[in-house]
């Protein structure tokens, strides 16, 4: 077990009547990418702001690098890099100047800073755009600049609050690869998102938040093992009769069947060879079928099963 970089205990934060964080407990260890997954309004950004000592909270404690985090914990803050949800760069400074400005808030040595700025530009793929002003950059490049400004000083802990919002797939992949690279270089990373695919792709441990509570946490495998679903099978079937649906439900390990617009969705619990059993049934009843595919449970399924709602739907309606 690695050394704890961030420890949150029983954190409660209220906005008048609304409970934004409800006795939240989290621990982030050295060298890991810790994902905070949850729909909009689940408390991810509030948790980040509490970690950074930007917000008052009603109860609990936040420790960073083993020390209580306070607004004047400058020594601790110097080891943290922050990439906020909203792009926070100066419109009147070029790409290079922006990175230099924010890097300079941490690094005083001119030569070291120059080297770090150059590295940050290479890291974020902005070398060709160094003389560009932010308004001339595309959304993806702007996000990359936002990241470069947050990580140029080579912090030990990087906090990224939804850094890929409204970013094109190419930039998103580049950002995700970059985060993994930063992690390999030794930085612990807290990554918040409501995109489960991203979290699943890069995070070594994940906490799922809903209504300010941590509803589940662990590695993605651990999270998936917490739920009943082990496999989801989709089949194209025409004119399936109700009694046949009932028969499928009776098959071994099948616990849920949905049939809509010629598409059959079968949820199976953790047994092996589920697909074989189902195909056997269709063959034995001489029921024709089209495409068949099987998928393992996603974090969305985990979220759905734990909270009773879909992660993406919550994100969109929030």
Partner 1 sequence: MFFRIYKYSLLRSTRDRLMVFWNLVFPIILGSLFQVAFGNYTEKEVLFHQIPVAYVKEEGADGNFTELLEILETDSELIQVQTVGKDKAEQLLRDGEVEGIYYNKTAEETDGQAEGIYDNEPGKETDGQEELGITLVVQEQDMNQSILNSILEQYERTCATLLTIGKEYPEGIQEAAKLLEEDTKYLKENSMGAASDNGILDYFYSLIAMNCLMGATTGLLCSVEFKADLSALAARRVVAGHSRFQVLWPDLAAKITLQFIYIVFTACYLMFVLHVPLGEQWGFLLLTIFVGSLLGIFLGFFIGVAGRMQYSMKEALCILIMMVSSFFSGLMMDGMQRLVEQYAPVFARINPASLIVKSFYSLNIYETYGRYLQNLGTMLVLILVLAAGSFAMVRRERYASI
**Window of 86-94, 115-123, 180-188, 307-315 that interacts with partner 1 by CB under 8 A:** 86-94
Query: Cα separation of 98 and 105, whole Å?
Result: 11
In this complex, which beta carbon is closest to partner 1, that of residue 56 or of residue 243? 56
Closest distance to partner 1 from the beta carbon of 116 (Å): 14
In this complex, which beta carbon is closest to partner 1, that of residue 18 or of residue 241? 18
In this complex, which beta carbon is closest to partner 1, that of residue 80 or of residue 202? 80
Query: Cα separation of 130 and 150, whole Å?
Result: 16
187 in Cβ contact with 28 (< 8 Å): no
DSSP string, 249-300: HTSTTEEEEEEETTEEEEEEES-S-HHHHHHHHHHHTT-----EEEE---HH
Tokens of 161: 């609050």
71 is a contact residue toward partner 1 (CB under 8 A) = yes
137 is a contact residue toward partner 1 (CB under 8 A) = no
In this complex, which beta carbon is closest to partner 1, that of residue 110 or of residue 249? 110
Exposed/middle/buried for 34, CB within 10 Å: 0-12, 13-18, 19+? buried
Give the end-to-end CA distance of the chain in Å, rounded to a whole number.
Answer: 36
168 in Cβ contact with 139 (< 8 Å): yes
281 is a contact residue toward partner 1 (CB under 8 A) = no
49 is a contact residue toward partner 1 (CB under 8 A) = yes
**Window of 46-54, 207-215, 242-250, 257-265 that interacts with partner 1 by CB under 8 A:** 46-54
Of residues 160-189, those binding partner 1 (CB under 8 A): none
147 is a contact residue toward partner 1 (CB under 8 A) = no
Binding partner 1 (rule: CB under 8 A), the pick from 17, 56, 286, 291 is: 56
Q: Residue 63: which of 50, 78, 54 has the closest Cα?
A: 50
Query: Cα separation of 258 and 264, whole Å?
Result: 6
Binding partner 1 (rule: CB under 8 A), the pick from 36, 47, 80, 182 is: 80
17 is a contact residue toward partner 1 (CB under 8 A) = no
Closest distance to partner 1 from the beta carbon of 220 (Å): 29
112 is a contact residue toward partner 1 (CB under 8 A) = no
H or E element, residue 114: helix 110-124
**Window of 1-9, 78-86, 176-184, 299-307 that interacts with partner 1 by CB under 8 A:** 78-86
Query: Cα separation of 248 and 243, whole Å?
Result: 9
Closest distance to partner 1 from the beta carbon of 75 (Å): 7
**Residues 87-106: x where in contact with partner 1 by CB under 8 A, - otherwise, as a string:** xxxx-xx---x---xx-xxx
Of residues 217-276, those binding partner 1 (CB under 8 A): none
Task: Enumerate residues 6+ apart whose C-beta is below 8 A from 175.
Answer: 143, 144, 147, 163, 164, 167
Binding residues for partner 1, how many (CB under 8 A)? 34
Q: Which residues bind partner 1 (CB under 8 A)?
A: 15, 49, 52-56, 71-72, 74-75, 77-80, 82, 84-90, 92-93, 97, 101-102, 104-106, 108, 149-150
């Amino acid at each position: 077990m690695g050394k704890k970089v961030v420890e949150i205990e029983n954190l409660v934060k209220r906005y008048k009547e609304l409970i934004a964080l409800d006795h939240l407990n989290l621990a982030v260890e050295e060298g890991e990418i810790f994902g905070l997954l949850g729909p909009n309004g689940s408390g991810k950004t509030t948790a980040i702001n509490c970690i950074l000592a930007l917000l008052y909270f009603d109860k609990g404690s936040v420790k960073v690098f083993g020390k209580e985090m306070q607004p004047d914990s400058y020594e601790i803050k110097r080891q943290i890099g922050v990439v906020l949800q909203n792009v926070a760069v100066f419109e009147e400074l070029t790409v290079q100047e922006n990175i230099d400005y924010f890097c300079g808030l941490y690094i005083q040595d001119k030569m070291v800073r120059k080297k770090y700025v150059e590295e940050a530009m290479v890291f974020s793929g902005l070398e060709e755009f160094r003389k560009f002003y932010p308004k001339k950059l595309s959304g993806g490049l702007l996000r990359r600049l936002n990241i470069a400004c947050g990580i140029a000083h080579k912090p030990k802990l990087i906090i990224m609050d939804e850094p890929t919002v409204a970013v094109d797939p190419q930039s998103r992949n580049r950002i995700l690869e970059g985060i993994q690279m930063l992690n390999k270089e030794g930085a612990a990373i807290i990554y918040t998102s409501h995109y489960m695919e991203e979290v699943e792709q890069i995070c070594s441990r994940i906490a799922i938040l809903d209504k300010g509570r941590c509803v589940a946490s662990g590695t993605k495998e651990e999270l998936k093992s917490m739920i009943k679903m082990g496999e989801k099978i989709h089949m194209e079937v025409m004119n399936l009769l109700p009694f046949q649906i009932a028969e499928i439900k009776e098959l071994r390990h099948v616990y849920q069947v949905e049939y809509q617009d010629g598409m059959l969705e079968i949820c199976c619990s953790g047994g092996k060879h589920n697909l074989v059993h189902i195909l056997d049934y269709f063959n034995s009843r001489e029921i024709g079928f089209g495409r068949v595919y099987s998928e393992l449970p996603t974090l969305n399924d985990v979220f759905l099963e734990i909270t009773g709602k879909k992660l993406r739907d919550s994100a969109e309606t929030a």
